């Protein structure tokens, strides 16, 4: 498994110098690079960036660097928190919703302020509506947000939380 990854990385390295330059993913779209999940080989630069303890495009995460994209001094602005979280955890969230549990689902519940007494319902409703929330094979973050909002709005107990998405 490992060497295959290295090979993939090496191949990407050959072609990517300009195209996958620093922080490109984040400009304008306020995403963490969901593109990494769009193009399967696109994940390689991230793998490499991480395994070599290198960081590319650190401007996005710059501490005390002022406003940059959706961050202020390196911290995600509050209006973007939920969208950025979904963007960075889409596969995990889909997995968690399908089983009705898991830390990314717990964290999402926390982000939109679901009270403890509504958490079980939140988990159940997102599980039951998995097919609606992830309505296509490759849902964008916007689509997931919009459909999650709809699903919550149509549930009497959870409707209040649709407002915080």
Pick from 22, 120, 159, 163 the residue near other proteins by CB under 8 A: 22
d(CA 160, CA 113): 10
Q: Rule CB under 8 A: is residue 102 a binding residue for other proteins?
A: yes
Residue identified by tokens 């999650």 is 148
d(CA 18, CA 32): 19
What is the edge-to-edge ordering of all strands in the sheet holding 67-68?
67-68, 71-72, 75-76
Q: Per CB under 8 A, which of residues 30..59 are in contact with other proteins?
A: 32, 40-41, 43-48, 50-58
d(CA 8, CA 15): 11
DSSP code of residue 63: T
Closer of 57 and 162 to other proteins (Cβ): 57
Pick from 19, 27, 91, 120 the residue near other proteins by CB under 8 A: 91
Q: Rule CB under 8 A: is residue 65 a binding residue for other proteins?
A: yes
Minimal distance, residue 150 CB to other proteins, in Å = 17
d(CA 90, CA 37): 9
Minimal distance, residue 102 CB to other proteins, in Å = 7
Pick from 19, 79, 101, 154 the residue near other proteins by CB under 8 A: 101
Closer of 28 and 131 to other proteins (Cβ): 131
DSSP code of residue 90: H
Taking phi first (over 0 means left), then psi (-120 to 50 degrees means alpha), and beta for anything else, what does residue 137 get?
A: alpha
Minimal distance, residue 129 CB to other proteins, in Å = 8
Q: Determine the interface stretch with other proteins among 91-99, 143-151, 154-162 (rule: CB under 8 A).
A: 91-99
3-state secondary structure of 124: helix
Closer of 128 and 162 to other proteins (Cβ): 128
Q: Rule CB under 8 A: is residue 98 a binding residue for other proteins?
A: yes
């Amino acid at each position: 498994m490992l060497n295959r990854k290295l090979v993939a990385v090496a191949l990407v390295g050959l072609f990517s110098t300009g195209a996958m330059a620093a922080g490109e993913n984040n400009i304008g779209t306020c995403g963490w690079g969901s593109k990494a999940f769009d193009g399967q080989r696109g994940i390689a630069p991230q793998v490499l960036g991480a395994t070599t303890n290198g960081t590319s495009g650190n401007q996005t995460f710059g501490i005390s660097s002022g406003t940059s994209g959706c961050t202020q001094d390196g911290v995600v602005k509050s209006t973007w928190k939920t969208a950025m979280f979904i963007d960075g955890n889409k596969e995990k969230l889909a997995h968690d919703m399908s089983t009705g549990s898991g830390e990314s689902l717990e964290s999402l519940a926390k982000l939109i302020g679901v009270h403890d007494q509504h958490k079980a319902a939140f988990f159940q409703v997102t599980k039951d509506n998995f097919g609606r929330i992830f309505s296509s094979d490759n849902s964008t973050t916007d689509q997931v947000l919009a459909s999650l909002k709809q699903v919550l709005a149509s549930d009497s107990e959870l409707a209040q939380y649709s407002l915080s998405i």
